[in-house]
Amino acid sequence: MGLVFVKLGGSLITDKSRPYTALAEVIDRLAAEIHRARTARPMPLLVGNGAGSFAHTTAARHASHMGIEGSSWRGFAEVHHDALRLNVIVREALTRAGETAVTIQPSASCITRHSRVASLAAEPIRRLLDAGVVPVVYGDVCVDDAQGCAIASTEEILRHLATVLRPERIIMAGKVEGVLDSSGRIVPEITAESFHAIRASLAPSDATDVTGGMLHKVERALESGVPTEILSGLVPGNLERALMGETGLGTVVGRPS
């Protein structure tokens, strides 16, 4: 089986109503699902986690997404620290589940321009994947060519890495069952051609989410050129089923090749 990217959404693995609160039981369950799937169906895997109530809270306070004019280098340091704190919790859960997982710090090698990744060292990630290791990336604050600093979302990092590493599939596990239309119904498929019809219903609603919510996820998924499924990680077994190859568990963004 080819390379798979998995994103564990911040709203899934943290309590966004309580700053800096990880949902340890959810994270442990998801890590166990990943390990069971990889044991039954070995595959190279890269995991990314969202910031949830950790770095999103800090970034909103410092306005780090607006650049260094609206923030400070101290704010940069604090946002990075809080992003890393949550990533460590995820990585440790994967380790307890039986995986050899390694944190990949985006800000150590990433340069953005207006929050879009311009460069990011991918060769170390490629070599870890070749060795059977699970690299664990995360949304991070990065040095930005245009505005001093910016937030590189997990989706943006995965989009960039997808152009280099060419995964077979991307799975985004969050709280909702998929992408919802204006009536609250799950949209089974979104393509570049159908995106304009659903776009208006995807406007961000969470003031603490500095990266753009569901609209951002769908836009980056379409840009990646990789079939992406957005599904609920709250349903036990959903992530495992998706990793085992099942589709149609949520919304598929982009047509399978």
What's the number of domains the chain is made of?
1
24 within 8 A of 32, measured Cβ to Cβ? no
Mean pLDDT for the chain?
92
pTM over 0.75: yes
Proportion of the chain above pLDDT 70, given as a percent: 94
Q: How far apart are CA 54 and CA 21, in angstroms?
A: 7
Task: Report pLDDT for 66.
Answer: 77
194 within 8 A of 31, measured Cβ to Cβ? no
Which structural domain, as residue segments, surrounds residue 191?
A: 4-253
Q: How far apart are CA 252 and CA 222, in angstroms?
A: 10
Q: How far apart are CA 231 and CA 239, in angstroms?
A: 8
Task: Report pLDDT for 145.
Answer: 95
Task: Report pLDDT for 183.
Answer: 86
Task: Report pLDDT for 40.
Answer: 98
CATH number of the domain residue 126 falls in = 3.40.1160.10
- Whether 208 has a pLDDT exceeding 70, the answer reads no
**Mind listing the pLDDT tens digit for each residue in 170-197?**
999 999 999 998 888 999 999 999 998 8
Region of poorest pLDDT, from 158-167, 168-177, 196-205: 196-205
